[in-house]
Amino acid sequence: MKYALLSDVHANLPALRAVRANIEYRQDLDGVYHLGDLVGYAPWPNEVVEELAAWGITGVSGNYDSTVAKDYKHCGCRYEDERQEQLSHESYAWTLKHTIPKTQAFLGALPFRLDLRPLGGHASGPRVVLVHGTPTLNTVYWTEDRPDDFCLKMAQLAGMKAGDVIAFGHTHLPWHRPVSGIHFVNTGSVGRPKDGDWRAGYVVLEVSERHVGIEFLRVEYDVEEAMRAIRESELPEDFAEYLRRGGPPAPA
Ligand SMILES: [Fe+2]
């Protein structure tokens, strides 16, 4: 079975549409799932949710989704510095104000976690677990420098064994590492990458009885359109440059 996994769209409609076109062109995939954080930072929260609903894509709830759905006091995000923190509060306030009740209901109904069984639920073969952050909370950042012990603890909490795959997003930095035969995959970000590459990122995961294949893909999209729309909205201007740079500015 071959799946496309896309995370952290963050209200970036042109990026999502480009990834959708890329995925539909391939015609070799058995399923497509998102890993949450559909809204925040860009001006198309309702349109992104509509696009995913029309496409028929299901997925899990990111911290931005669950906090917007619950009118929580902040988005549960971590920031690179004080400036980014302040901008993040502005983004969250803007998103809460512009998210229509239908979108909020959609976000609130997303499950915390999805389990896939590529060989079928009647077989004990490999499983694929999808979460936004970790199996415990969608706000915890599972970065590449987390020690093997952390990964194995999370895998144990999720009830995983060798040959299984757990995929997550949240950090906007793609990586993959096998530990004790379990595959840990961060799928990066469609709409707000932080690895210095502005292109929309997603992952194609192939799972069979004895094989796990992971392919990281990047798709060009009309980043100028996204930048223009951010500038024309009341979102912080900095978010436009963030998209072009593929991450935060270098520390002063
Ligand atoms: Fe995110």
Q: For the chain, which ranges sit under pLDDT 50?
A: none
Q: Tell how far the Cα of 168 is from the centroid of ligand 1, in angstroms.
A: 11
Q: Tell how far the Cα of 122 is from the centroid of ligand 1, in angstroms.
A: 34
Burial state string for 7-45 with b = 16 or more CB within 10 A and e = fewer than 16:
bbbbbbbbbbbbbbebbeeeeeeeebbbbbbbbbbbbbb
What is the pLDDT, as a whole number, of residue 218? 98
Q: Tell how far the Cα of 171 is from the centroid of ligand 1, in angstroms.
A: 6
Taking only the tens place, the pLDDT of each residue in 153-181 is 999 999 999 999 999 999 999 999 999 99
Q: Tell how far the Cα of 119 is from the centroid of ligand 1, in angstroms.
A: 30
What is the pLDDT, as a whole number, of residue 252? 64
Q: Is residue 47 within 8 Å of residue 226, measured between CB atoms? A: no
Strand ranges, E, within the chain: 2-6, 31-34, 58-59, 114-116, 128-130, 165-168, 175-179, 182-186, 200-207, 212-219
Q: Tell how far the Cα of 248 is from the centroid of ligand 1, in angstroms.
A: 14
Q: Tell how far the Cα of 101 is from the centroid of ligand 1, in angstroms.
A: 21
Q: Tell how far the Cα of 42 is from the centroid of ligand 1, in angstroms.
A: 12
Q: Is residue 226 within 8 Å of residue 82, measured between CB atoms? A: no
